[in-house]
Amino acid sequence: GQQVMQIPQYQHVQEGEDFTTYCNSSTTLSNIQWYKQRPGGHPVFLIQLVKSGEVKKQKRLTFQFGEAKKNSSLHITATQTTDVGTYFCAGLRDSNYQLIWGAGTKLIIKP
C-alpha cells in the first residue's frame, strides 16, 4: 500500500547545530502536515503544506513541499533544547482523504 517514508529515524545534534528530516511518498499527495511530539506528550500540529514547491517558515523552522508533491522536508536552524522531540510528517492522499503517517524522526540534543 501507499507509504510515507521518513528519514532519519534519529538525529543527534549539538545544541546550535541544524536538523533536517525528510519525507518521501510513493505517490502524489494532496497535502502534507507536520507534527511535533515532545517526550511523554502527544503529537501537536505544526503546519500544513498544500501547493507544489511551497515553502513556509515558522521562526527557525523551514518546511518545504516538493514540486511533484511527493516529498517534503523540515529544517531547524540552530537547534535549542526546546526543539527536542519527535517530528512526524503525515501525507494526505486524494482517494479517501486519509493521512498516511511517517515513522517520525527523533531529535536528540547531545549533552
Partner 1 sequence: DAGVIQSPRHEVTEMGQEVTLRCKPISGHNSLFWYRQTMMRGLELLIYFNNNVPIDDSGMPEDRFSAKMPNASFSTLKIQPSEPRDSAVYFCASSFLGDQPQHFGDGTRLSIL
Binding site for partner 1 (CB under 8 A): 30-31, 33, 41-45, 48, 88, 92, 96-99, 101, 103-104
Q: How far is the CB of 35 from partner 1 (least distance, A)?
A: 8
β-partners of residue 58 are 61
β-partners of residue 100 are 91
Shorter beta-carbon distance to partner 1: residue 19 or 88? 88
Handedness of CA 97, 67, 36, 106 (dihedral sign): positive
DSSP 78: S
Shorter beta-carbon distance to partner 1: residue 45 or 80? 45
Shorter beta-carbon distance to partner 1: residue 4 or 76? 4
Q: How far is the CB of 92 from partner 1 (least distance, A)?
A: 5
Q: How far is the CB of 36 from partner 1 (least distance, A)?
A: 11
Give yes or no for a contact between 66 and 4, defined as CB atoms under 8 angstroms apart.
no
Shorter beta-carbon distance to partner 1: residue 77 or 99? 99
β-partners of residue 21 are 74
Q: How far is the CB of 23 from partner 1 (least distance, A)?
A: 14
What are residue 97's phi and psi, to 5 degrees? Answer: 50, 45
What is the grid cell recorded at 99? 493521512
